[in-house]
Amino acid sequence: MSSADAAVELENVEHSYGDVTAVGPVSLSVPAGEFLVLVGASGCGKSTLLRLIAGFEQPTTGTVLTGGHAPQPGRGAGLVFQQPRLFPWKTVGGNVALALRYAGLPTDRVDELLAGVGLHDVAHRRTWQISGGQQQRVAIARALAVDNPLLLLDEPFAALDALTRERLQEDLRRVSARTGRTCVFVTHSVDEAVFLGSRVVVLTARPGQVALDLKVGLPRDGLAPDELRGLPEYAALRSQIGHAVREAATVPEGASA
């Protein structure tokens, strides 16, 4: 695949913070519409990779392209972080409207965007009057507001309770299938990786390199989440990826921790 066709293209990318090499070298090509999950142990460089793709960091060596161009920070990708980072002085609807306005778009899609993430009736509330799960839904609606082809998510459900987390995973899976956005999603959770990903990349301990790059060809259509999780292929993928994560987290003897 040429760079022009890929939604995200990383070529021999390394990134160092001072004398700490956090990532690389990593080469990855992400086709449009793929749901790529980056999984690996704490500190292996997952967030750094995402920040490179978002354009918040520049690679120390190598090239990062999104849609065939160098990424511009704050442009070209919707971003969702572990904390929803909403504006507390705005209403729920106001937060989404702000994203539309910032992009120079009309604000008449606020209700539609909120409905798309299951928030039909809270547009008028302040962000502190809704639950943590609802706040994260608002953050997703805000990231989807602008018609970016790329959605970058950094452990967006890590701070939520297990049930809310599962509900949001299901909703994100539906939203990503409906909108056809290319997603790059960072997590520690092997189950989340298998449930969401059409492709899972396991990173080694720092400096993060690709330890495993796996297509997840689960038959998702028409299956309820519990049915999907109950498939023998699902359990096999969980086991394979879990094993790879544990192996990859082992720092080789002689390497600095």
Residue 255 sits in the site that holds ligand ATP (CB under 6 A): no
Residues within window 176-205 making contact with ligand ATP, judged by CB under 6 A:
188
Collapsing DSSP to helix, strand or coil, 169 comes out as helix
- Is 206 a residue that touches ligand ATP (CB under 6 A)? yes
Nearest distance in Å: CB 72, ligand ATP: 20
201 backbone φψ class: left, alpha, beta (φ>0; ψ -120 to 50): beta
* Stretch in the footprint of ligand ATP (CB under 6 A) among 43-51, 71-79, 84-92, 229-237: 43-51
Residue 152 is a binding residue for ligand ATP (CB under 6 A): no
Q: What is the DSSP letter of 128?
A: G
Secondary structure percentages of the chain, helix, strand, coil, to 5: 35, 25, 40
Residue in 25, 33, 43, 225 binding ligand ATP, rule: CB under 6 A? 43
Largest CA distance in the chain: 58
Distance CA 144, CA 197 (A): 18
Nearer to ligand ATP, 131 or 250 (CB): 250
Segment 46-105, which members bind ligand ATP (CB under 6 A)? 46-48
3-state secondary structure of 33: coil
Instruction: Pick the stretch among 24-32, 40-48, 64-72, 88-96 that binds ligand ATP (CB under 6 A).
Output: 40-48
CB 62 within 8 A of CB 75: no
Give the binding range for ligand ATP (CB under 6 A) out of 16-24, 112-120, 142-150, 240-248.
16-24
Q: Return the SS3 of 55.
A: coil
What does the alpha-carbon distance between residue 172 and residue 164 come to, in Å, rounded to a whole number?
Answer: 12
Binding site for ligand ATP (CB under 6 A): 17, 20, 22, 40, 42-48, 188, 206
